[in-house]
Amino acid sequence: MTSTTDRIRGLVQGLKAPSALVTLAANLVPAVCALLFGWSVGLLILLYWAENMVIGAFQALRIFVTGLSQGRAGLPVTLFMTPFFAVHYGMFCVGHGAFVLFYLMMERNGGWNGDGYETLAADLPRFLLSQSGLLVSLGVMAGLQAVDFVRWLLGRGWRGANAQALMGEPYGRIIALHVTLIGTALLLAWLGSPRYGVLLLAVFKTLFEGAMAGRKAGRATEAPSSGTVT
């Protein structure tokens, strides 16, 4: 049986793993840019939504490669599960993106305005290009995800990988973002300071995802050397 101390030790060790370091670095860049360029909470959440899309794309590639690695037995994964994940996850992100745009519109207009929502959606490309550091941050985050995928590929992470488990991994990230969004909105109403809201959002997301990556890496490290872990 694994004690709390062992779990904490495993988490700390896991945070040293390359995948956990990639997660922390990917969160550090937008956090710094948000403070330097005075981003709003809505803009930072929009960036995190775009990051979810990038992660989904690389996750689809992982599922596809896992299916290919299984030969004929993996054909259902390659031909069915991969496109199913792409469509299902894409629809999930579209719904989430509409919610994020709604929050951003409310933030800019100070309240509900149907015309404002439509205007923001139509003007989104120009709006994003006008935000200092946003595309650079997205590029860095996407680049780090690409590096992590190549590391997974070269390290033969597809050997023994479970396609169903891979399909479910990114959804927890989006659910966490929804919870963070609601919590941040309430916190902003209490603090009355958008700058603190941006900082708290970035710190929460960094710690949360760093802990998740650390736990996952820690379990992977302990698995070969331990028997049953409860």
**pLDDT tens sequence across 63-80:** 998 888 888 887 888 888
Highest average pLDDT, of 14-23, 56-65, 110-119, 221-230, comes from 56-65
Residue 10's pLDDT band (cuts 50, 70, 90):
low
Delimit the domains of the chain by residue range: 4-225
Give the ranges where 70-133 is alpha helix by DSSP (H). 75-76, 82-109, 114-122, 124-129
What is the structure's pLDDT at 227? 43
pTM: 0.77
Q: Which two tokens stand for residue 105?
A: 């519109």
> Average of pLDDT values for 94-118?
73
Residue 141 has pLDDT above 60, yes or no: yes
Residue 59 has pLDDT above 90, yes or no: yes
Closest CA to 105 of 97, 35, 90: 97
Measured distance CA(86)–CA(176) in Å, rounded: 20
